Amino acid sequence: MSEADKRDRLRVVEADLDRLRAELPQPTEDAGDFVDAGQNLAAREELSGRIELLEDERRRLRDDLGLD
C-alpha cells in the first residue's frame, strides 16, 4: 500500500470512527424494559467492537505514516 493509499484509508477510517461514535447509543437509565435494555447493550457492544478494530487500524496507519 502506497503512502497516498494509506492517507486515503486513514481519512476513511477517521470518518467511519466519527460516524460510529455518533451512532453509539447511550446506556438506558430505565431498567423497566429488559428487552430494550438487552438490545441497547448488544448494539453498544457491537459498535464498540467495530470502533476498537478501526482504532487499531488507525493507530497502525498513523505509525506507518510517522504521525503522532
Instruction: List, for residues 42-68, the tens digit of each pLDDT value.
Output: 989 999 999 999 999 999 999 999 997
Q: What is the pLDDT of residue 31?
A: 60
Query: What are 14-42's pLDDT values in tens digits?
Result: 999 999 999 988 777 766 677 777 888 89
Pick from 57, 61, 51: nearest CA to 4: 61
If residue 49 lies in a helix (H) or strand (E), which one and from where to where? helix 34-65
- Structural domain harbouring 44: 3-65
Write the DSSP symbol of residue 29: S
- pTM of the predicted protein model: 0.81
CB 44 within 8 A of CB 27: yes
Q: What is the pLDDT of residue 16?
A: 97
All 3 cell numbers of residue 58?
A: 488507525
Per the structure, the count of domains in the chain is 1
CA 10 to chain centre: 13
